Chain A
């Protein structure tokens, strides 16, 4: 299990908002992510990047939060990009066949780069 924090780190970079959750994103902690994304959306950035490098585990609650966020940003001028997911996290995207639904990048620099 990765180190968990009760808050989700946020950094504004080049017109993008980078959110960096840590630990497990499960039913207990996905509301934190939802709240952070909702706040970020309110600022209408060009891009919201969810950096998953410190996320060790995600269940369908976390997936649902990201699907909801993707639907909400669509057509608003804000792109949602996920990056740096480990194999365990990527596996749940593949099981749910959602890896094509999201924009997923290998690392933060790639997520902040081109489309």
Chain B
């Protein structure tokens, strides 16, 4: 029988961080996420891809959600992903939540890569390097982004190039 603590760890994030929407703190969040990913078993490439995805997600919240206001909250939650029941690899799950204006998740798209111009690459990069990417509205205010990456899964860019 599982202890109460073990049950709680299945649902409560192992790390829960509130950070101001100031680009100054992007570096610290990247370092933290990358270091945790390494302890969870990701290699150098996986760690840098996870840190990049989180960085791009935070940039999108700051730039588009908060229109570059530097004093708004962003919450980052992290869970280790256990070995899945259907043989899915272990990995990492991250939630990034904000209080920004809500938009329809299906309207969140990166620009076409053929259309070369500054900006609009963040969502594309996130989808390329993570295994699962899901945008949703939070219950009352703001948006939620769920990211999953599994150890040993090949990112979309490599799968496409195979």
Binding site for B on A (CB under 8 A): 1, 24, 26-28, 57, 59-61, 63-65, 67-68, 71, 88, 91-92, 94-98, 101
Cβ of B118 and Cβ of A59 under 8 Å apart?
A: no
Q: Which residue of A lies closest to B48 (CB)?
A: A88
What is the number of residues of chain B that contact chain A, defined by CB distance less than 8 Å?
A: 26
Q: Which residue of B lies closest to A64 (CB)?
A: B118
Q: In whole Å, how far is A25's beta carbon from the nearest beta carbon of chain B?
A: 11
Interface SS of chain B: helix, strand, loop or mixed?
A: helix
Q: A63 CA to B59 CA in the complex, in Å? A: 13
Count A/B pairs, Cβ under 8 Å.
Answer: 63
Give the contacts of B117-137 with A (CB-CB under 8 A): 117-119, 121-122, 124-125, 128-129
Cβ of B116 and Cβ of A60 under 8 Å apart?
A: no
Q: A92 CA to B125 CA in the complex, in Å? A: 8
Which of A57, A59, A65, A98 makes the CB contact (< 8 A) with B116? Answer: A98
Which of A1, A24, A27, A68 makes the CB contact (< 8 A) with B63? Answer: A27
Q: A59 CA to B119 CA in the complex, in Å? A: 11
